[in-house]
Structure 1
């Protein structure tokens, strides 16, 4: 994977003070002190029935690849959210465990979804 493919820029923020609402959903405000940015590559997921249904419901499931480092390794699906720096669109992180190694470089793939509250 060529690092020149990473044309987008994303910001990760830890969600602080997470409290359940009356429906049991956990919500929290982002902690600005935890924010950091990374170059990223967005990949749309293939058009399975579940993906098409999600898109029809206004959600945008996709994968985002960033370089693995000490900060990105701390990201979990429960405690973090991701924002596209250029568009300002906020994504809920659904999964954060897939690491790829290509030669000396390591990458993390995050499953994210736009259109849902992180």
Structure 2
């Protein structure tokens, strides 16, 4: 895989965290709220049997790459990523900081429950 550059970050994504919200009837429900937005690059996985099997089940695993910052370093797998343009929602499965500490890779899946 070639070394990532800032020019690869052509999409805008929002990071949402799960919290509590009023349900309008005096109770509470869980809801996601946006914490911040940043630029991102998408790396679509082609590979092995598990990727092919996930696609057959309507799931789409991919890597979402963002610049490392104080905000992105605080993200955990309880959060989700949302493509601002299309509205697609991705559940975070794994987080891998880059060796050069400039980027963070989020292994995400679209089409699965949180």
TM-score (norm 1): 0.80
What are structure 1's unaligned runs of at least 5 residues?
18-26
After superposition, the CA RMSD in angstroms is: 1.6
2:53 alignment counterpart: 53
1:99 pairs with one of 79, 84, 97 = 97
Q: Does 1:3 align with 2:2?
A: no
1:30 alignment counterpart: 32
What are structure 2's unaligned runs of at least 5 residues?
21-28
Deviation string for 1:32-61 (max 9, x for gaps)? 4xx211110100113211101101101000
2:39 alignment counterpart: 39
2:23 alignment counterpart: none
TM-score (norm 2): 0.83
Give the aligned length: 103
Determine which structure has more spread, i.e. the larger CA radius of gyration.
2
